[in-house]
Amino acid sequence: MDCIFCKIVNGDIPSKKIYEDELVIGILDINPHGDGHTLIIPKKHYEDYKEIPDDLLIHINKVTKILSDKLENIFHKNSVTFVVNYMDAQAVKHYHKHIIPGFNKKLEYSVDEVYKNIMES
């Protein structure tokens, strides 16, 4: 399979991983729309939300709460946007959820600075 997210999950492509458990990883988006823009990616490949089991969607929502709270506190953002793209809007055909603190606001930090701040917190 030639899926970039599967390659990231398998460690074949480097990423700025800020969360991992047995079911999902959380990585920083390399083209962020806000400081701390994070993707939650299931370790198992599912093309879209219609394929993914409900219990995994519930788990992803729990991880969303954990990570969004952490990101809001670290970067002092007063807004957060959650996005799941589908069909033509889905650039990578592997289900993933975006957490975007301060969506489309002026970025204050580089991805490397964001990663450093998160890992030191």
Position 78 scores a pLDDT of 82
Give φ, ψ of 40 to 5 degrees.
-100, 120
Indicate which CATH number applies to the domain containing 108.
3.30.428.10
Which of the residues 37, 45, 94, 96 is marked catalytic? 96
DSSP 84: -
Specify the pTM: 0.90
Q: Domain tally for the chain?
A: 1
Q: How much is the mean pLDDT over the chain?
A: 92
Q: Which domain holds residue 37?
A: 4-120
Nearest to 10, CA basis, from 50, 46, 42: 42
**Is 37 a known active-site residue?**
no
Each residue's pLDDT tens digit, 63-92 = 999 999 999 989 888 889 999 998 877 788
Position 1 scores a pLDDT of 66
